[in-house]
Amino acid sequence: MDQFILQILNGLDKGSAYALIALGLTLIFGTLGVVNFAHGALFMMGAFCAVTVSKLLTLSHKVVDETRTDFLGNPLQVDVPYLHDLFGPALGDRLIDWAVPISILFAIPVMIGIGFIMERGLIKHFYKRPHADQILVTFGLAIVLQEVIKYYYGANPIPTPAPEAFKGSFDFGVMIGFDANAIIYPYWRLVYFFFSLLVIGAVFAFLQFTTFGMVVRAGMADRETVGILGIDIDKRFTIMFGIAAAVAGLAGVMYVPINPPNYHMGMDFLVLSFVVVVVGGMGSLPGAVAAGFLLGILESFASTSWAVNLLPGINQVIIYLVAIIILLTRPRGLMGRKGVMEE
């Protein structure tokens, strides 16, 4: 039972990333009807927002420290972050330590801006084009963004640690009555899971309880009728594209302590996230979230030693096998709208 619970927990943090990326993908497809293969690149760019903020906060200058000498007895030059000069060593070190959460404040406007530029500058010209054209142009855009990141940040992963307060692991098993050390789980993975729930809840609340969200949902159901009523639905859909980009970016920001970001991490998640969207149902926001967590948990169980020994390689293909089964039995996906992907 302890191993069962541990695999559930392992699946939830990866499922959280799948759910957040798939949620953004579904927002774009449901509002604009665009198959956006650049969405994984938005996840990657969110991660590098965190890297950028971390680097900015640790900018330093050389200062001679008279209390420290080298082997010749000369005073040493040490690096002192500019934040120490601005706020003092204590607050400066705390800001550096909390670089990843602080990155959220930087990533939201940056990712919304990138989303606006992508939609207005490129994707709006492909609304009425076939999905194959949309896939080609957005996939090309993803490669361009990937190479830009590689040029400026290099090809190697860049470790970006979590705040000191959330490093290490805690004994989850003791909390639910198991023996000590039976279920040990990293703090930050739980933070990521609860953060994803917060973002998902905020998106659904925005769509459900605000006038803007209600108009967007109406436009997703019947765009022409909403336009006849004199509402500029295109402008609202552009804003939704920016929000979808921000959701993907936030998923990337908070993921960097779990997996050091690199230039191809967007591609690593992109295909899996599209599988999640298809399994959940194209255009279904609840389906995307549910499928994200479901497939994350299934992938976790398929990665256990007994599963790999029984069926070698099952951990690499389990998500695709589930997708095949779902689409053969229910072409619209688990919660897809009638007629979508059934033609």
In a domain, 92, yes or no: no
pTM across the whole model: 0.88
128 occurs within a structural domain:
yes
pLDDT of residue 129: 83
d(CA 205, CA 245): 18
pLDDT per residue as tens digits for the range 191-240: 999 999 999 999 999 988 888 888 887 877 777 787 777 777 778 888 88
* pLDDT tens column, 39-59: 889 999 999 999 999 999 999
3-state SS assignment for residue 228: helix
Q: What CA–CA distance (Å, rounded) separates 49 from 114?
A: 12
User: Is there a domain that residue 215 lies in?
Assistant: yes
pLDDT value for 340: 52
Domain assignment present for 297: yes
Q: What is the pLDDT of residue 339?
A: 52
The confidence score (pLDDT) of residue 218 equals 81
Q: Please report the pLDDT score of residue 338 as a whole number.
A: 62
Q: Long-range contacts: 129-137, Cβ < 8 Å, 24+?
A: 131/35, 134/34, 134/35, 134/36, 134/37, 135/35, 135/37
In b/e form, how buried is each residue of 178-187, taking b as 16+ CB within 10 angstroms?
Answer: eeeebbebbb
Reduce the DSSP state of residue 72 to 3 states and report it.
coil
- For the segment 177-193, the average pLDDT, to the nearest whole number, is 81
At residue 1, the pLDDT reads: 65
pLDDT single digits (tens) 127-177: 778 878 888 898 899 999 999 999 999 989 999 999 998 988 877 767 766
* pLDDT recorded at residue 341: 47
104 vs 313, which has greater pLDDT?
Answer: 104
Could you tell me the two tokens for 313? 């390689």
Number of independent structural domains in the chain: 1
The enclosing domain of 15 has a CATH number of 1.10.3470
Assigned domain for 208 exists: yes
Strand spans (E) along the chain: 60-69, 75-81, 169-171, 184-186
* pLDDT score, position 271: 81
pLDDT of 21 > 70? The answer is: yes
Contacts of 229 (CB under 8 A, 6+ apart): none
Question: 6: closest CA among 149, 190, 142?
Answer: 190
Q: What is the CA radius of gyration of the chain?
A: 23
pLDDT at 177: 67
CA angle 51, 55, 58 (to 5 degrees): 140
Cβ 290 vs Cβ 279: under 8 Å: no
Q: Averaging pLDDT over each range in 120-124, 157-161, 173-177, 317-321, which range is the top one?
A: 157-161
Question: For the segment 72-87, what is each residue's pLDDT rounded down to a tens digit?
Answer: 677 777 788 889 888 8
Is 84 within a domain?
no
Confidence class of residue 70 from pLDDT cuts 50, 70 and 90? low
Q: Answer yes or no: is 336 within a domain.
A: no
The answer to whether 333 touches 284, Cβ cutoff 8 Å, is yes
Asked if residue 83 belongs to a domain, the reply is no
Instruction: Write out pLDDT tens, residues 284-296.
Output: 888 889 989 988 8
226-278: pLDDT as tens digits = 777 777 777 888 888 899 999 999 999 999 999 899 998 888 888 888 888 88
Tell me the three state secondary structure of residue 116: helix
Residue 318 confidence class, pLDDT cut points 50, 70, 90: confident
pLDDT for residue 122: 87
Question: In the predicted model, what is the mean pLDDT of residues 187-192?
Answer: 91
Domain that holds residue 168: 2-59+98-329
- Checking if the pLDDT of 343 tops 50, the result is no
pLDDT, one tens digit per residue, over 22-33 is 888 888 887 777
**Are 335 and 281 in contact, with CB atoms under 8 Å apart?**
yes
β-bridge partners, 185: 170
Whole-number pLDDT of residue 44: 93
